[in-house]
Amino acid sequence: MFATKFLVQGVLHISLPPQFKMDKNQVWDAVLARMGEKISRMEFLTWFKKVEISQISGGAVELVCPTEMNANWLQSKYYSLILANVQAVMPEIDKIFFRIDLSLADNESKKEDPDVFAAPTKPRKIRNKPEARVAPGLNTRITQEKFSLDSFIVGDENQFAHAACQAVVTSTCDPQVKAQYNPMFIFGGVGLGKTHLIQGIANDIRRQSPGSVVLYVTSERFINEIVQAIKNRKTDEFRKKYRRVDAFILDDVQFFEGKEKTQEELFNTFNDLFEFGKQIVFAADRPPSELLGISDRLRSRMGWGLLADVKMPNFETRLAIIQSKMKEKQLLLPPDVQEFIATNIRHNLRELENILNQISAEMDLQGISPTPQTVGKIFRSINPEREIEIKADGTSSLARCTDDLITIISDYFQVPATELLGSSRKKEIVFPRQICWLLCKDILKMSFEAIGKDFGGKNHTTIMHGIRKIRTLARTDSQTARHLHALKKDLGLK
Ligand code: ADP
Ligand code: MG
């Protein structure tokens, strides 16, 4: 018998004598396989895929990571998980060290992902059915289940509207409470949360009072139905259907502008519901007073109750919204990436969904690590004209250290990061390397000595001459000037 078998919590472990010891790759594979139960495929692709064990000695394991952020993240978030699983494979280990090797970032890992993290062969199951019916018998009017007043992040800019929506839910569900805000009219620009709030009202009423009939409908759909009903001479049926609801919620009423016939039908619906004390909620991109294509009598009714506006939330609220969306999408992003997104989503929160979906897809399918650089690229791919800022004050660029610059320049010129750091004298390497030095100087404000140290211990005069050469070329050679311009744009500098 050369292997000792023992059972711990129902798992079979085999400890081998030294001559059968696994090599470091096998150890890491075994550790990853064990961790499969604790981390998701996405976490694996983001933080573990490009990591390797470089050394095992003296009771310690050294892990190499492709970026500084990867190493910091493993150290701060996964240290005990990694250690526990390394110890399960090699009980003598009591420390994990991290080292950075930029060349790993360029390695397209040919290694298969361990089975536990292999890409799913079947399409992912969507756990929450995205659309749910609101009222039985009114099955074309749908809301997104995920929108609720609870999942709406409250900041100064939308607090009033949110509180008013809560009051509407309470008064609709509880016959003892008098409806104070009827009708309620929410207005504000595109992507600021109006639909979320009013679908939240519909969903919350349905949850709290399953017997009530709530109707959420977009104006486009409502208008189409009116037109169809008129065409098929079924206006009576249409009216009956709409007038038996407890709460009537109509989104984007600006679409009624200029449509007189359908406005008339809405006017009648309003009067009937209002007369019977039924709750009415409207949302639009402007207040009623600015909906000039809507008749005076309808506009004035829209303004009878409570008007509440929503504005773009501030940085902190945006950050909280990002975090709640990450949770919803089971997406893990480091704090600097969250801040980067919060800084750059400034006008419309609908963009946020796009950006997060795109990040999630690229992490899943291409194994990218979410960094301000990779996310900056996604921002630009969605909107090439956009100016990118890293900090709320818009001062600094996407690069904060030599590693960041090397990653960007290596990607731009398609030369391996190791070559940029090395001492090859080939022209196609020397030129991008000297550009790196120039940007280290201009953007990171590093001294010649510090640059030399980061680039494999080069003499400060070598760095000085290299930078001077690029500065001269930038004035005399249009190609160089173009490269610098494009790189600065990539770095988020205007
Ligand atoms: P609007 O109807 O005003 O154009 P939406 O309600 O469609 O905007 O909001 C756009 C996106 O932003 C949605 O995904 C929504 O969930 C999100 N959103 C906006 N404001 C908030 C908030 N305060 N908390 C959470 N999500 C929000
Ligand atoms: Mg909307």
**Atom 20 of ligand 1, nearest CA residue:** 193
315-367 pLDDT tens trace: 999 999 999 999 988 888 988 899 999 989 988 898 898 899 999 988 888 88
Residue 207: pLDDT above 70? yes
Q: Which residues contact 480 (CB under 8 A, 6 or more apart)?
A: 470, 473, 474
**pLDDT band for position 110 (cuts 50, 70, 90):** low
CB 36 within 8 A of CB 117: yes
- Rounded to an integer, what distance in angstroms lies between the CA atom of residue 217 and that of residue 198? 10
Highest mean pLDDT among 86-95, 190-199, 365-374: 190-199
Q: Which among 278, 253, 277 is positioned nearest to 266, based on CA atoms?
A: 253
Tokens 């993240």 sit on residue: 73
Cβ contact 421:440 at 8 Å: no
Ligand 1 atom having least distance to the Cα of 190:
4
Residue 257: Cβ-neighbour burial (10 angstroms; 0-12, 13-18, 19+): middle
Closest-CA residue, ligand 1 atom 23, reads 153
Q: Is the pLDDT of residue 193 over 70?
A: yes
From residue 408, give the alpha-carbon distance in Å to each of 66, 373, 413, 420: 14, 8, 9, 11
Report whether pLDDT(18) > 90. no
Q: Is the CB of 193 under 6 A from ligand 1?
A: yes
Cα–ligand 2 centroid distance for 396 (angstroms): 34
Fold category of 133-309 in CATH: Rossmann fold (3.40.50)
Which CATH architecture does the domain made up of 402-490 adopt?
Orthogonal Bundle (1.10)
- Ramachandran region, residue 440 (left: φ > 0; alpha: ψ -120 to 50; beta: rest): alpha
CA distances to 117, 145, 215, 249 from 201, rounded to whole Å, are: 40, 11, 10, 9
Alpha carbon of 193 to ligand 2 centroid (Å): 7
Out of 3.30.300.180, 3.40.50.1110, 3.30.300.30, 3.40.50.2300, select the CATH number for domain 4-114. 3.30.300.180
Distance 393 CA to ligand 2 centre (A): 30
- Report the relative pairing of strands 60-65 and 52-57 from DSSP bridges: antiparallel
**What is the location of CATH 3.40.50.300 in the chain?**
133-309
Residue 20, pLDDT score: 47
Percentage of residues in the chain having pLDDT higher than 70: 85
- What are the pLDDT digits (tens) for 126-162? 333 333 333 443 433 467 888 999 999 999 999 999 9
Give the closest residue to 409 by CA, choosing from 370, 437, 450. 437
For the chain, residues classed under CATH 1.10.1750.10 are 402-490
* CATH among 1.20.140, 1.25.10, 1.10.8, 1.20.120 for 315-382: 1.10.8
Q: Rounded mean pLDDT of the chain?
A: 83
